[in-house]
């Protein structure tokens, strides 16, 4: 599969977090919340090349976790909060924070794969 050239005037980061097609910057990348579309609805680019795997989840957790831990520690040391208070404050903050970042991070990684012509590795036989 050959990938068409990328328009170098646009930032892959900006295009990715906007969840737009990396080739035309117009079409949508997702069908639903995190399901990657089969192709761009504007230019027809096949998104079969993309495989972001667990990258977006790792980055989202890395961004949100320090704030979650800081909030949990603050609640514990300032108020000696019982575990149920921690569960109804820190847990939803962590889950919703990660969900907030997942979609733009997945779009960014997909766009970066397109820009850098990332393909699956193959062994020579």
- Give domain status of residue 123, yes or no: no
Whose CA is closest to 14, among 104, 103, 102, 116? 104
Q: What is the dihedral of CA 34, 38, 42, 43, to 10 degrees?
A: 130
- Give domain status of residue 6, yes or no: no
Domain that holds residue 76: 12-115
- Looking at residue 8, its pLDDT comes to 56
- Looking at residue 12, its pLDDT comes to 87
- Looking at residue 5, its pLDDT comes to 56
Contacts of 75 (CB under 8 A, 6+ apart): 81, 85, 86, 89, 90
Q: What pTM value is reported for the model?
A: 0.86
Question: Domain total for the chain?
Answer: 1
- Looking at residue 4, its pLDDT comes to 55
- Looking at residue 10, its pLDDT comes to 73
- Looking at residue 21, its pLDDT comes to 93
- Looking at residue 1, its pLDDT comes to 52
Q: In Å, what is the CA distance from 29 to each residue of 7, 11, 43, 52, 85?
A: 17, 16, 11, 13, 38
- Give domain status of residue 2, yes or no: no
Residue segments in the chain with a per-residue pLDDT below the cut of 70: 1-9
* Separation between Cα atoms, residue 52 and residue 54, nearest integer Å: 6
- Give domain status of residue 90, yes or no: yes
Crossing angle of helices 83-115 and 55-79, rounded to 10°: 160
């Amino acid at each position: 599969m050959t990938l068409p050239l990328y328009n170098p005037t646009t930032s892959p980061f900006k295009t990715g977090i906007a969840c737009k097609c990396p080739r035309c910057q117009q079409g949508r990348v997702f069908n639903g919340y995190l399901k990657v579309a089969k192709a761009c609805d504007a230019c027809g680019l096949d998104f079969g090349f993309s495989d972001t795997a667990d990258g977006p989840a790792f980055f989202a957790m890395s961004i949100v976790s320090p704030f979650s831990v800081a909030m949990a520690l603050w609640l514990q040391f300032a108020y000696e909060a019982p575990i149920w208070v921690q569960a109804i404050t820190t847990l939803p903050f962590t889950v919703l924070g990660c969900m907030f970042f997942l979609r733009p991070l997945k779009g960014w990684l997909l766009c970066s794969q397109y820009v850098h012509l990332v393909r699956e590795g193959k062994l020579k036989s």
